[in-house]
Amino acid sequence: MRVSKADGSQVLDLQHDALIAAGLADRNLYSDTASGKLDNRPGLESCLKALRQGDTLVVWKLDRLGRSLRHLVNVVHDLTERGVGLRVLTGQGAAIDTTTAAGKLVFGIFAALAEFERELIRERTIAGLAAARARGRNGGRKPKMTPAKLRLAQATMGKKGTVVADLCSELGISSQTLYRHVSPTGELRASGEKVVSRGRS
């Protein structure tokens, strides 16, 4: 069970009564008072941990369980691998009962929609980056290693007594990033060569 607000304007009574009517015992009910978009939902986490092979997770409506269609698909895939079913009592998705063949078919359609949504987002992202590059703008995350940082790293790594942790802290990079670009003796590696060539262009 879940409601979004803790100010008393939303209550769990309707969901509670529906779950009891569906044959669940009070001791097996779990609840959260949190937005469905939040990751921190202790009631849901406790419920998922308590489920065992052969159990069925019952929710009042599908939106009480997942943050998004993709999250729902991931949760149900995890449950399926553990031998746990999912049953939705009402609302959109009420035909879902993964303990039945028909319910599995309906959820398969949901999973296909989630995959379709993921591909659409990917295609839009690629198209957006291509359009930005065509206008002279490079999208994506800025590289952590710059030509200036690389020169300092080269000079410092070649000296005796260099403390790698201090150097990484000064440059604002991790040791993995440092060693990916520069050898322990200060020589450029393949990733470092790319940074240098990028700085020349």
Instruction: Give me the active site residues, please.
Output: 4
State the Cα–Cα distance between residues 52 and 59, nearest whole angstrom. 16
- Number of other CB atoms surrounding residue 121 within 10 Å: 11
Beta bridge pairs of residue 33: 3
Q: Are 177 and 150 in contact (CB under 8 A)?
A: no
Phi first, then psi: give them for residue 2, nearest 5 degrees.
Answer: -155, 140
- Number of other CB atoms surrounding residue 173 within 10 Å: 18
DSSP helix/strand/coil, 2: strand
